Amino acid sequence: MSVLFLFVSCKQAGDDRGIQSGKELAVTDYDGLKNVLLTGWNTFDVTSISTQVLLPEGLALNLQINDTITGDTLGLMFTGNRVKGSERVWTKAHTPDGSYTDFIVRWRDFGMRVRTHARGDDLYVIVTPADSTVNPGIIRLKCYVLYGREGVISRDGQTIIADLPGKKLTISPSTRFLRITGRHIMEFPMDGQIAYSTASDSLQQIRDLIGKAEKEYMDKKAAYGELADVYDALQNALNWLVIYDNENDRLISPVSRPWSFGWGKGTPGGYVLFCWDNFFAAFMHSVESKELAFNEAIQMCNEIDELGFVPNYSGSFNVKSRDRSQPPVGSMMVREIYLRHPEKWFLEKTFDQLLAWNRWWDENRNLNGYLCWGSDPAASVSGDRRERVQNVHSAASNESGLDNSPMYEDVPFDTISHKIPVGDVGLMSLYVGDCEALVYIANELGRDGEAKELQARADTYREKIKTMWDDGFGLFLNRRLDIDDNSKRISPTNFYALIARAATQEQAERMIQEHFYNPDEFWGEYILPSIARNDPSYTGQDYWRGSIWAPMNFLVYLGMRNYHLPQARKDLALKSRKLLLNEWYGNGWIRENYHAESGGAPSGRSEHFYHWGALLAMIDLMENGNY
């Protein structure tokens, strides 16, 4: 194996900004949080994980592989790229603050491992190319300034100089390299050990610094014992997806890099956020980084200001679903984050926004006392074709988050009420959970009037859910309002009644014994399928027509915690761990969804690297007292 070392140094005294591992920073408002997060080196550029970006200056260092036989260059590297013949990435480590990262990439005959350590304005990189006798190739380091920021890149002998506002950075090799081209590209051979550093730093110093950062990460991982790999998968799933959105000057955690690349039309700050997906990401960040957890929840709550609700999707160029929202999990996740990191400024920042969204559901999705999924007529603001899909069945189904679920496929959409006329157990239960989370937050903030208002709504909808119990079937069932009958097309959302505490202990036990453990419905080697196995539309895959989805498992687990169901909780946690680690060990993937029979890749749609797959890890951590 050959090793390439790179050190980037900023010659500016007393500048040690950014989140540092193990360092508590006093943040008392959003401005302070933003100042902390938008500082230092990290994999902020959505277009490639091989690009390290320094904020706020926008200096980018992009590692590339050049095929010397064909002349082709791999300049952009993605987690979970599904394009045929594209690069294959295995992520190995990523701290929340970017102080240590580690990944492996294979492309054609080439491979390399990249490890980095960031400390303030200083960046250290070690690249270990895989041995290749057929096509040694070239490693290129391209230096440039992103986001239209000020800066000049130049060559000074054997170094590249970045003149930035208030500072100067020097990128210099310490051993053999091929050339510097165009003043901003260094080229290195892949056939031997090559080291780079500032003039005053030795190869051994660089090794020691990166080795220390790696050890800190591995020690933290090891502290989780038998759940070490669960923790590792969680951190990789989240931290490789933290990017900088220059359009809005913020950090965000989109669901996947390929999706954001497409929505952003290939721009370095492109993104797409999804409502419940990103509230879950905020919650998962709270395991290791309160800063990223607070920030992600705040960014999602800020979406409420324009529309009164969090849109289903919000992407680059002001593209939003102005007709619909998605499952109301935000307040529950904000409460959980606060319980782990009890800072009241965070609640004060988000409460009124979440309260507005809570009121929106009651005012806009109530039909005969039930809550139903819907899609309202809405004018397109951006002109994007996706915004024009509204006031139709598919859009309302997308509001459920269960896009092609068989639960709604035979129910006609009502264009007058703008709803699918199904009183939905899942939605109503999540709404009660939302109300009660906001009651807790209101009490913390001394908002007595709002607390009473919210408790009254919670009680009203809980009582309505109780009427949806089918004693002969042993489950809370959706109500077909168009034909005034119960629907026996069931999914894990029918268990969400446990979140609302609508079931008695006896009813909860029946639900678990007769349905959760029923192999004809939800039990099996891999659980929980997104529609019962005996449903005529069940495929075991094809998105929400049978694939296993981590958020469903997670929400069912949250409901179980409200009752004495110790064995079911344990079984769900263990099976969720197995599902997560099989793909993590085998392919380095955290899937958007999983095949319900094989536990692997569905033949239909499933992103390889999608952060909410790590909710499977959260179930295990919570069940074992690690959260």
Q: What is the pLDDT of residues 43-64, one digit of tens each?
A: 999 999 999 999 999 999 999 9
Residues facing residue 106 across a β-bridge: 88, 111
Q: Does residue 2 have a pLDDT over 80?
A: no
Q: Does residue 14 have a pLDDT over 50?
A: no
**Residue 16 confidence class, pLDDT cut points 50, 70, 90:** very low
Question: At residue 431, what are phi and psi to the nearest 5 degrees?
Answer: -65, -40
- DSSP string covering 383-426: --GGGG--SSHHHHHHHTT-TT-TTSTTSPPBTTTTB--EE-HH
Q: What's the average model confidence in pLDDT over 156-176? A: 86
How much is the pLDDT for 413? 98
Report whether 431 contacts 371 (CB < 8 A): yes
Q: Does residue 6 have a pLDDT over 80?
A: no
Q: Does residue 199 have a pLDDT over 60?
A: no
How much is the pLDDT for 121? 87
**Residue 1 confidence class, pLDDT cut points 50, 70, 90:** very low
* Residue 215 CB neighbour total at 10 angstroms: 11
What string of H, E and C letters represents the secondary structure of 250-273?
EEECCCCHHHHHHHCCCCCCCCEE
**Residue 280 confidence class, pLDDT cut points 50, 70, 90:** very high
Instruction: Evaluate if pTM is beyond 0.85.
Output: yes
Q: Does residue 68 have a pLDDT over 60?
A: yes
Q: Does residue 304 have a pLDDT over 50?
A: yes
Q: What's the average model confidence in pLDDT over 195-204? A: 60
In order of their start, the domains of the chain are 4-222 (no CATH), 225-623 (1.50.10.10)
Query: Which whole-number Å values give the CA distances from 443 to 213, 314, 334, in the listed order?
Result: 42, 31, 14
Q: What's the average model confidence in pLDDT over 294-304? A: 98
**Residue 23 confidence class, pLDDT cut points 50, 70, 90:** very low
Report whether 295 contacts 343 (CB < 8 A): no
Report whether 99 contacts 40 (CB < 8 A): no
How much is the pLDDT for 12? 42
Q: What is the rounded CA–CA span in Å between residue 52 and residue 33? A: 21
Q: Does residue 296 have a pLDDT over 90?
A: yes
Q: What is the pLDDT of residues 366-400, one digit of tens each?
A: 999 999 999 999 999 999 999 999 999 999 999 99
**Residue 200 confidence class, pLDDT cut points 50, 70, 90:** low
Q: Does residue 8 have a pLDDT over 60?
A: no
Amino acid identity for residue 97 in this structure: D
Q: What's the average model confidence in pLDDT over 53-80? A: 94
Q: What's the average model confidence in pLDDT over 76-99? A: 94
How much is the pLDDT for 194? 67
How much is the pLDDT for 18? 41
Q: What's the average model confidence in pLDDT over 166-180? A: 82
Q: Where are the beta strands (DSSP E) in 426-514?
A: 469-470, 475-476, 479-480, 485-486
Which of the residue ranges 172-181, 379-388, 512-521, 614-623 would you say has the lowest mean pLDDT? 172-181
Q: What is the pLDDT of residues 106-132, one digit of tens each?
A: 999 899 999 999 998 899 998 988 876
**Residue 188 confidence class, pLDDT cut points 50, 70, 90:** confident
Q: What is the rounded CA–CA span in Å between residue 221 and residue 230? A: 9
